Every structure is written in C-alpha cells, then in structure tokens.
Amino acid sequence: MSEHITTETHAAHEVSYGTYVMVWLGLVALTAVTVTIAGIHLGSVTLVAALTIATIKTILVVTYFMHVKFDNRVIKVFIFVCLLIFITIMVLTFSDLSFR
C-alpha cells in the first residue's frame, strides 16, 4: 500500500560534515579573540570589538548552522524584515538617549 504524498519541495541541500566543523572552528577562534581583546583593557574599544565579533559569529551561525544560505527567498526576506525592525528599535532608543 503506497501512500500518495504531496510535498512542498523540500530543498534537501546536504551540507558536508567538514563545512560544519570549519564553521565551528571559526566560532571557537572568534570566542578566543573576543576574550583576549577584553583582557587587554582597551576601554570603550572593548565593547565595539565585542559586539562586532558577536555579529560576525551570528552571521556564521545563521548562514551555515541555520542554513539560511540554502533556504528560499521568503525566509531570507523574513529575516531581513525582522532585523530591520530590531535595528530600528535600537537606533530610535539610542537617538532618544543621546539627544536628551
């Protein structure tokens, strides 16, 4: 008895084990860098460096681990809109705090 299955094309893109391990190595290396930079006491540069590295790590996780790179356009637009809302909230908050 064969079931008739309709599937909305599952883009079964296979990512190799090696790619994931390389991304992981990159993430661990960035963690080491951010801890090292924080240890040097660079003042305000520390925060900027830490957030920049955190953003790079996020891009790596979203692109490869969450395989958005291989997802269709709708998901990419989704993420872009969400990011835009979040950045808007942040920019408005900081402009409010800075010009009080």
The verdict on 95 binding other proteins (CB under 8 A) reads: no
What is the phi/psi pair of residue 9, to 5°? -5, 110
**DSSP code, position 43:** T
With beta carbons less than 8 A apart as the criterion, state whether 32 and 57 touch. Answer: no
Among 47, 69, 73, 84, the residue binding other proteins under the rule CB under 8 A is 47
Name the residues that contact other proteins, by CB under 8 A.
1-10, 12, 14-17, 20-21, 23-24, 27-28, 31, 34-35, 38-39, 41, 46-47, 50-51, 53-54, 57-58, 61-62, 64-66, 71-72, 74-75, 78-79, 82, 85-86, 89-90, 93-94, 97
